[in-house]
Amino acid sequence: MSVLLSRKMSGPEVEKISTHAFLCEGPHWDHDAETLYYVDIKGPTVHNYVPARNKHTAMKNDGVHILLVIPLEGTKDKFVITVGRNVAILTWDGESSTPTDVKYVSAVDNEKELQDNRLNDGKADPTGRLWAGME
């Protein structure tokens, strides 16, 4: 189950936004789009929720476990994602149940003994640098 915690004049309010999730992580609020993005790492799915329209959309990844999703600044359908040790650009319209494209752009921990590591949860800083934890 996915929930959204919002602050109202009368105090915090918890709202159920999805029942189709197993282990949600990496919430990212896109202020411009007024949309919440997050991943279900067990699903494996990428979700978005638009509170103003009470609309929830999930994109199935066919076995590819996306561990974080951050909208790519200046675009409407591109997102920085991580898959295992890889950083990629996801093209997704936010409406369909499948992605348009996934392009891998970088990998970390390429040493043989680190092959099982994965980039897990992260954010972009104000200058656009991606910071992610390793697991």
- DSSP per residue, 17-58: EESS-SSEEEEEEETTTTEEEEEETTTTEEEEEEGGGTEEEE
State pTM to two decimals. Answer: 0.84
Low-confidence ranges of the chain (pLDDT < 50): none
Annotated binding site for substrate: 118, 120
Domains of the chain: 17-124 (2.120.10.30)
CA distances to 23, 75, 99, 128 from 111, in Å:
29, 33, 30, 26
17-38 per-position pLDDT tens digit: 876 788 888 899 998 899 999 9
Annotated binding site for a divalent metal cation: 25
Annotated binding site: 25, 118, 120
